[in-house]
């Protein structure tokens, strides 16, 4: 399991960085377990955080909502506890999660895991997906411009095949949209196959409840735009201003 630390923040960087580093040195991370050298008090629950850009450089025409970077964010953070634990072993049981990370750092985090008494978070992602599409294709267009997207579910994502015939339009694009973030998967004027994968390796994220948010997690993961997790998503096929959308769902595999 890959361990990812997120410890730097504007107001708490020195203190929280030391707390995070100390925890990382004390724990032993196994495939489905975090082990401490002695019993600790923790809460198991769900950490939620969202960020939207209030100030930063934009691209596009005046009034565009698309940012190239964020300087000031409106951020919400909350840990929702479900039960208390006193143990030296914290099990990592597959559970639903949601990650939506956009270019400037805006987005959404919903991660299961543990909060210690000092505010340290031990959150995790264990890939387990079942993709459910209501149809295996999306079609859009008219007599002049036409495109079809064929969809095949995979273990950790889906495969798409775009066929098209363009006379007036310059391109076709395919995008996946979550609650806050849209990620363009395909953009072009020629038939093509592509694969879109959700996170396919387990992660343990060690951070602090006053620090962790989409911008900092995005920087730690080194991804520009990313949508992954469980729940409902939208798949969009578009030619110019004409589009067709399909809602699909992702559940834990085995449920």
Residues 6 or more apart in contact with residue 89 via CB below 8 angstroms: 33, 34, 35, 36
From 13-17, 26-30, 161-165, 198-202, the region with the lowest mean pLDDT: 13-17
According to DSSP, the β-strands at 120-125 and 203-208 are antiparallel
Which pLDDT band holds residue 9 (cuts at 50, 70, 90)?
Answer: low
- 68 has a pLDDT exceeding 90: no
The pLDDT value given to residue 54: 62
CB 128 within 8 A of CB 92: no
Span 141-151, mean pLDDT? 92
> Cα 182 to the chain's mean position, in Å?
11
More confident: 159 or 7:
159
- 11 has a pLDDT exceeding 80: no
The pLDDT value given to residue 105: 76
In eight-state DSSP terms, residue 68 is S
pTM for this entry? 0.89
DSSP the chain: -EEEE----TTTHHHHHHHHHHHHHH-EE-SSEEEEEEEEEEEEEEEEEEEEEEE--B-SSTT---BS--SEEEEEEEEEEEEEEEEEEEE------EEEE-TTS-EEEEEEEEEETTSEEEEEE----EEE-S-SEEEEE-SS-EEEEEEEE-SSEEEEEEEEE-SS-S-EEEEEE-SS-EEEEEEESS-EEEEEE---S-EEEEEETTT--HHHHHHHHT-SSEEEESEEEEEEEEETTEEEEEEEEEE-TT-
Class of residue 241 by CB neighbours under 10 A (exposed 0-12, middle 13-18, buried 19+):
exposed
Collapsing DSSP states into helix, strand and coil, what is residue 214?
helix
Collapsing DSSP states into helix, strand and coil, what is residue 235?
strand
CB 3 within 8 A of CB 204: yes
CB 182 within 8 A of CB 175: yes
Tokens at 204, concatenated: 């343990």
The pLDDT value given to residue 226: 87
> Cα 169 to the chain's mean position, in Å?
32
- 64 has a pLDDT exceeding 70: no
> Would you kindly state where each structural domain of the chain is located, as residue ranges?
2-130+198-231, 131-196
């Amino acid at each position: 399991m890959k361990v990812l630390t997120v410890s730097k923040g504007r107001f708490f960087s020195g203190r929280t960085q030391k707390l995070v580093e100390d925890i990382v040195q004390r724990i032993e991370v196994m495939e489905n377990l975090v082990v401490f050298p002695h019993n600790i008090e923790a809460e198991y629950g769900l950490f939620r955080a969202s960020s939207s850009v209030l100030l930063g450089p934009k691209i596009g025409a005046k009034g565009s909502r698309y940012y190239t970077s964020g300087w000031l964010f409106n951020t919400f953070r909350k840990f929702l506890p479900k039960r208390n634990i006193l143990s030296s072993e914290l099990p990592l049981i597959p559970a639903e999660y949601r990650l939506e990370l956009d270019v400037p750092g805006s987005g959404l985090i919903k991660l299961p895991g543990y909060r210690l008494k000092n505010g340290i978070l031990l959150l995790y992602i264990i890939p387990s997906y079942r993709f459910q599409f209501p149809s295996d294709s999306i079609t859009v267009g008219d007599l002049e411009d036409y495109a079809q997207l064929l969809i095949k579910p995979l273990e950790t994502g889906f495969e798409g095949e775009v066929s098209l015939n363009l006379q007036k339009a310059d391109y076709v694009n395919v995008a996946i949209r979550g609650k806050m973030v849209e990620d363009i998967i395909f953009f072009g004027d020629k038939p093509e196959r592509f694969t879109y994968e959700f996170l396919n390796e387990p992660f343990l994220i060690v951070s602090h409840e006053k620090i962790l948010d989409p911008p900092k997690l995005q920087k730690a993961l080194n991804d520009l735009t990313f949508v992954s997790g469980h729940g409902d998503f939208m798949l969009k096929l578009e030619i110019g201003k004409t589009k067709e959308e399909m809602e699909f769902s992702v559940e834990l595999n085995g449920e």
